Amino acid sequence: MPLEEKTLNLDLDRRRRLGMVEAVWGANKTVAQILVAAKRFAAAQQPLLVTRVDTAKAKALQQQLPDLHYHPQAQCLTMGPLPTPWQRLALVTGGSSDLSVAAEATVALACHGVEAELIADVGVAGLHRLMDRLDHLAQFPVLIVCAGMEGSLATVVAGLLPQPVIAVPVSVGYGVSAGGHVALQGMLASCAPGLSVVNIDNGYGAAMAALRILHMETSRSSKKTI
């Protein structure tokens, strides 16, 4: 057995167990390892999601497996048909610099049949931009908020709207922002009750947290109709 196959122990039961497919972390995996993963997911008839893949690695992979689709802004690879959307949520960003993290969340959600509507560039430096969207945002069951700098957008959103809010600190900002650590600490110290926070730049993690909430709400709704 080739070394690439020996080093991969994929969780192909995750979809049955948790309602989500395993994501392959692509940054530290070789082209050969990702190709093995792609073939195993295809054999299991599961959609493939590979995160953190740079353009050069994606190009090398597509030369060997043309069915791979690269999402450059998200730095993600997918393969296989995406499911028909069954639910929607809103993905809010403080600025355009947060879009790569938001894009990762969007692709991860699409792999699970959740459509994300992007509400971009509504940071607190121009708070009226957010206030103008509140009525629209109130329609979604879950909100994901991506913000760098001091990360206060998530607190503002969670203080104004009642649905679950998942905050993603983004590694954007001048010196003292410390690669997203200030945003992370600000979100963790938020006075908005019930705000959930994932790790820095973890768009995928935010997407899976939202997916768990949506699955739970759908399950409760189904039981009520029985």
Q: In whole angstroms, how far apart are CA 201 and each of 42, 101, 104, 146, 226?
A: 28, 6, 9, 8, 40
Residue 179: left if φ>0, alpha if ψ -120 to 50, beta else—which one? Answer: left
| CA distances from residue 11 to 14, 27, 37, 41, 131 in whole angstroms, order as listed | 6, 18, 11, 10, 42
- Tokens representing 133 are 């969207």
Phi-psi region of 202 (alpha: psi -120 to 50; beta: other; left: phi over 0): beta
- Residue 1, pLDDT > 70, answer no
The pTM is what? 0.92
Encoded tokens for 172: 């954007």
Name the pLDDT band for 80 (thresholds 50, 70, 90): confident
Average pLDDT of the chain?
A: 92
Task: Please give the pLDDT value at position 24.
Answer: 94
Instruction: Report, as an integer, the average pLDDT of 131-150.
Output: 96
Residue pLDDT, tens place only, 44-59: 999 999 999 999 999 9
pLDDT of residue 3: 54
Task: Answer positive or negative: Cα dihedral of 179, 184, 189, 192.
Answer: positive
The CA radius of gyration of the chain, in Å to the nearest whole number, is: 18
> Residue 226 above 60 pLDDT?
no
Whole-angstrom distance, CA of residue 17 vs CA of residue 11 = 10
| Confidence band of 225 (pLDDT split at 50, 70, 90) | low
Residues 6+ apart with CB under 8 A from 218: 86, 87
pLDDT tens digits, one per residue of 83-108: 999 999 999 999 999 999 999 999 99
Answer left, alpha or beta for residue 216, where phi above 0 means left and psi between -120 and 50 means alpha.
Answer: alpha
Pairing of strands 87-93, 114-119: parallel
Architecture of the domain spanning 87-218: 3-Layer(aba) Sandwich (3.40)
Domain residues of the chain, as ranges?
Answer: 3-79, 87-218
Residue 25, pLDDT above cutoff 90: yes
Q: Tens digit of pLDDT for each residue in 193-207?
A: 999 999 999 999 999
The average pLDDT across 164-172 equals 97
Confidence category of residue 121, pLDDT binned at 50, 70, 90: very high
